[in-house]
Amino acid sequence: MLDQYFKLTESGTTVKTEVLAGLTTFLTMAYIIFVNPMILKDAGIDHGAAFVATCLAAAIGTAIMGLYANYPVALAPGMGLNAYFTYGVVLGMGHSWQVALGAVFLSGVLFIILSLLPIREAIINAIPQSQKLAIGAGIGLFLGLIGLKNGGLVVDHPATLVALGKIGSATVLLAIAGFLLIAVLDHRKIPGAIMIAILVVTVLGIALGLSPFNGIASMPPSLAPTFLKMDIAGAFSLGLVAIVFAFLFVDLFDTAGTLVAVSQRANLVGPDGKLKRLSKALMADAVATVAGSGLGTSTTTSYIESAAGIRVGGRTGLTATVVAVLFLLSIFLAPLAASIPAYATAPALVFVACVMTSSLAKIDWEDVTEYAPAVVTAVMMPFTFSIATGIGLGFITYVVLKALSGKISDINPVMAILAVLFVVKFAVI
CB atoms within 10 A of CB 272: 7
Flag whether pLDDT at 31 surpasses 60. yes
Q: Is the pLDDT of residue 397 over 80?
A: yes
Look at residue 257 and tell me whether its pLDDT is greater than 70: no
* 311 vs 32 pLDDT, higher one: 32
Average pLDDT over residues 313-317: 83
pLDDT band at 391 (very low <50, low <70, confident <90, very high): confident
% pLDDT > 70, the chain: 94
Q: 103 and 232 in contact (C-beta within 8 Å)?
A: no
Q: For position 44, what pLDDT does the model report? A: 93
Q: What is the pLDDT of residue 100?
A: 93
pLDDT digits (tens, 9 = 90+) for 332-361: 988 888 888 889 888 888 888 888 888 889
**pLDDT of amino acid 121:** 64
Confidence of residue 389 (pLDDT cuts 50, 70, 90): confident
Amino acid making up residue 12 = G
Query: 325 vs 147, which has greater pLDDT?
Result: 325
In this prediction, residue 324 has a pLDDT band, given cuts at 50, 70 and 90, of: very high
Q: Residue 335's CB: how many other CB atoms inside 10 A?
A: 16
Q: How many CB atoms lie within 10 A of CB 12?
A: 12
pLDDT (0 to 100) of residue 269? 66
The predicted-structure confidence for 219-255, as pLDDT tens digits, reads as follows 888 999 999 999 888 888 766 787 888 888 777 777 7
Residue 226's Cβ-side half-sphere holds a number of Cα atoms within 13 Å equal to 33
The percent of residues in the chain predicted with pLDDT above 90, rounded, is 36
Per-residue pLDDT of 133-163, as tens digits, reads 888 788 788 888 888 988 899 988 888 888 8
What pLDDT score was predicted for residue 176? 95
Angle at 428 between CA 425 and CA 429, to 5 degrees: 70
Integer distance in angstroms from the first to the last C-alpha of the chain? 56
The pLDDT mean for the chain works out to 86
